[in-house]
Amino acid sequence: MSERLRTEWFGNVKGDILSGIVVALALIPEAIAFSIIAGVDPMVGLYASFCIAIIISFVGGRPAMISAATGAMALVMVPLVKEYGLNYLLAATILTGIIQMILGYFKVARLMRFIPRAVMIGFVNALAILIFMAQVPHFWGISTMTYVFVALTLLIVYTVPRFFKAIPAPLIAIVVLSTAAILMDVNLGTVGQLGNITQTLPSFFIPDVPFNLETLQIILPYSIALAIVGLLESLLTAQIVDDMTDTGSNKNREARGQGIANFVTGFFGGMAGCAMIGQSVINVKSGGRGRLSTFVAGGFLIILILVLGELVVQIPMPVLAGIMIMVCIGTFDWSSFKYVVKAPRGDAAVMLVTVIIVVATHDLSKGVIAGVLLSAILFAAKISKIKVTESKDKGKTTFDVEGQLFFASVDSFVHKFDVSVRDQQIVIDFSNAHVWDDSAVGAIDKVVMKYRENRNHVTITGLNSASKNIIEKLAVYHDANGKISTH
Amino acid sequence: MYQHILLAADGSQNSLRAAKETIKLAAAFPQCTVEVVMVADYDKSRYDILHAVSSSELELKRRKILAPVEELLQTNNISYRVKILHGEPGPAIVDYANQEKVELLVIGSRGLNALQEMVLGSVSHKVVKRAQCPVMIVK
C-alpha cells in the first residue's frame, strides 16, 4: 500500500470512526426522506446510501467527502418512478453511472469553471425550495398534532445543539418524538405507511426491464439529468471540503468514482446518489479527514438498519418533515436576498432564472442548463460592446477603439465610422482593443476600403502582436494601398 | 524576551487594537516574529465557495481582511508572517498556539459577530480557558 493511500485511509483512525458514526446517524433520516420524495421504499435510499458511501470511499477523489442518496437526485427521478416504477429507476441509475464514468474519463471537472457562481447559488436555492415543497403534503392540513410534532422537531434540532453536540440533533428529535408519539398513542402518519423496511443486506440483481431501444429512450433523458446534477453537487461539495480541510482533491477521479458508485448501486437495488454538502460538512466538523470516515458512515448505517429496522417504520412523518425543513433552511443560501440587490444585474438575473426554471420544471438539470446558457449570452453581449471615440487634432482624425472585436461586435464597430468624409487623415488606434477572428479583420478591411474610396489616408496603429498576426494573415486592405503603419 | 508572538485577527476593530499592542511588544525585541493567524470559519466555508469565483480569489479575499493589520505591522517594521487556519475560530487558534508552542497569544476581546458571541460565548474566552501559553486580551 502506498504511503499516500495509507494516510488517506489510516491517517486519522479515531477521528474518522467517530465522525463516520455521527454521519451515519445523520444520514438515516435523510436517506428515508429522500426515498419518500423519489416515491420508492425507504430501503432504496438506505441501500443506495450504504453502497455509494462504501464504494466512493475506495474510488472517490476527495477523502472525507460523504456521498449517498440525495434530495437533488431524488427530485430528478420523481416522474420516472411515477410512470415506470422502480426497475426503470435502477436501470437509469446504472446508465447514470456509465455516463458519469465516461464524463470523468474525459476530465469533465475542467468544465466546472464554466458554470458561473450565480448558477450554483440558484442551484442550491432551487434545491432547498423543491425539498421544502416535497414536505408540504406530509404536514399541511392533516391534523393539529402533526403541526405540533413538526414544531417540536424544529425546536429540538435548533436548540439542542447549543448545549449538546455529541449526537446529531435530528436523531435526538427522532428518538424522543417517536417514543412520545408511541407512548401517548398519538395518531400520526408514519414512515411505515409509505414503504417497507427489510432487514437484509442488499443483494445483486439485474433490473427487470426489457433490454431494448424503447427502454433506453425512457431512461436516457433521466440518466443524463441525473449525471449532470450528481456531478455538479459532488464537485461543488468537493470544493467545500477542499477549503475546510485546506487540502486538494482529484476532481476527475471523483467524477469517475461517482460513476462507479452509481453503476454498482443500481445492481444492488439503490437509487442514484451523489455527494452531500450538509453531511460532508458534518463529517469534517466532527473530525473526519480520511476515506475511513466515509466507509464507516456507510457501514454503520446499514448495521443500524439491520438492527433497528422495525423501529424505523414507526418514525412519525411530521418528525421527518421537520428534519427536512431544517435541511432546507441549511441548504438555502440566505445571503441570496442581498445578492439579488447587490450583485451585477446579469448575475442576479441568472440566479433567479435558474431558480425559476427549476421550480417550474422540477428538474434541477434544466435550471442549470438555462442558467449557463443565459450567462453565456449575457457574457457575449457584454463583451461584444465596443467603444470608438473620435478626436480631431491638426487635420487628423483619430478613432480610439476600445473592446473586443469579433463576430458579435463587428456590426456596431462598422457603424461607428462616418466613411463619407473626403481627403482626410484618418488614424484608427487599436491600443485598447483586441482583434479576434476573420469577421473582425473583414470589418477593419471594410472600414479602411470605404475611407480609401473617398481618397482618405488611413493609418492603423496600436495593434497588439496577436491582433497584428491575424490581420497580416487575413487582411486585404494593405495589398491595395501599400503597407500599414503600426508604430 | 519574546521571539514568537501569535496575533489572532479577524479584521475587527478589536483585532486592530490587539495588533497595536502586539507592535508595542514586538518592537521591544528585535528578534521577535509576529505570526498573524486568521480562522476561515467552517460554517462560512459553504458561503465562501458559493460566492467566490475561484479558490485564488477566495484566498485573496481572506487576505484582504487582514490588510489593515498587515499595514500596521509593515509601517512599524515588525517582521511577521500570515497563517490562515481552517476550523472553528476558538479551538483552531488554541490548537495552533499549543502545537506551535508560541510564547504569547494576543487576541481582541471581542470579534465581529455579536450574535454568535451571545449564543456561544466569546472566542477570546474560549481561548483563555484552553491555551497553554500566556494570553493577552486587548479591549
The tens place of each residue's pLDDT in chain A, 487 residues long, gives 688 889 999 999 999 999 999 999 989 999 999 999 999 999 999 999 999 999 999 999 999 999 999 999 999 999 999 999 999 999 999 999 999 999 999 999 988 878 999 999 999 999 999 999 999 999 998 899 999 999 999 999 999 988 888 888 998 999 999 999 999 988 888 888 888 788 888 889 999 999 999 999 999 999 999 999 999 999 999 999 999 999 999 999 999 999 999 999 999 999 999 999 999 999 999 999 999 999 999 999 999 999 988 888 889 999 999 999 999 999 999 999 999 999 999 999 999 999 999 999 999 999 999 999 999 999 988 888 899 998 888 778 899 999 999 988 898 899 888 888 888 889 999 999 999 999 999 999 899 988 888 888 898 999 999 988 888 888 877 654 444 444 3
Of A162, A245, A277, the CB nearest to B46: A277
What would you report as the CA-atom Rg of chain B, rounded to the nearest whole angstrom? Answer: 15
Dihedral of CA atoms B25, B29, B31, B36 in degrees, nearest 10, equals: 0
φ, ψ of residue A171 to 5 degrees: the values are: -70, -40
Instruction: Summarize chain A as % helix, strand, coil (round to 5).
Output: 70, 10, 25
Distance, CA of B76 to CA of A258 (rounded, Å): 53
Contact criterion met (CB < 8 Å) for B49 and A236: yes
Q: How far apart are CA A270 and CA A285, in angstroms?
A: 28
Mean pLDDT of chain B: 86
Question: DSSP assignment, residue A214?
Answer: H
Cell of A275: 455527494
Q: Where are the domains of chain A?
A: 2-335, 348-383, 387-474
Specify the CATH number of the domain A387-474: 3.30.750.24
pLDDT of residue A487: 37
- B112 lies within 8 A of chain A by CB: no
Query: What predicted TM-score, i.e. pTM, was given to this entire model?
Result: 0.87
Residue A213 corresponds to which cell in the numbers above? 431501444
Residue A418 phi, psi dihedral angles, 5° rounding: -95, 100
What Å distances lie between residue A255 and A96, A389, A410, A481, B1, CA to CA?
A: 12, 49, 40, 57, 53
pLDDT of amino acid A486: 41
Confidence tier at B121 by pLDDT (50, 70, 90): low
Q: Contact A298/A57 with Cβ under 8 angstroms?
A: yes
Write down the pLDDT at residue B119.
54
Kindly state the helix (H) or strand (E) to which residue B138 belongs, with its residue range: strand B135-138
Give the one of A121, A244, A284 whose C-beta lies nearest to B50's C-beta: A121
Instruction: Give contacts of B84 with chain A, Cβ < 8 Å.
Output: 246
Is B61 touching A (CB cutoff 8 A)? no
For residues A374 and A273, give the distance between their C-alpha atoms in angstroms, rounded to a whole number. Answer: 28
* Residue B42 touches chain A, beta carbons under 8 Å: yes
Write a three-state SS string for B35-75. Answer: EEEEEEEHHHHHHHHHHCCCHHHHHHHHHHHCHHHHHHHHH
Domains of chain B and CATH, by start: 4-137 (3.40.50.620)
Q: Tally Cβ neighbours within 10 Å of residue A189.
A: 17
Overall average pLDDT of the B60-68 stretch: 90
pLDDT at position B112: 63
ipTM at complex level:
0.87
* CB–CB contact B86 A281 (8 Å): no
Burial of A401 (0-12, 13-18, 19+ CB in 10 A): buried
pLDDT tens per residue, range B14-40: 888 999 999 998 988 888 899 999 999
Residue indicated by cell numbers 473617398: A454
Calpha distance A341→A116 (Å, rounded): 18
**Residue B123 predicted with pLDDT over 90:** no
CB distance A190 to A315 below 8 Å? yes
Contact map slice: B 9-38 vs A, CB within 8 A: none
Output phi, psi for A145, to 5 deg: -60, -35
Beta strand B33-41 pairing with B80-87 = parallel
Beta-strand pair B135-138/B104-108: parallel
Which residue in A has a C-alpha nearest to residue B53's C-alpha? A117
φ, ψ dihedrals at A423, nearest 5°:
50, 50
pLDDT at B139 (0 to 100): 81
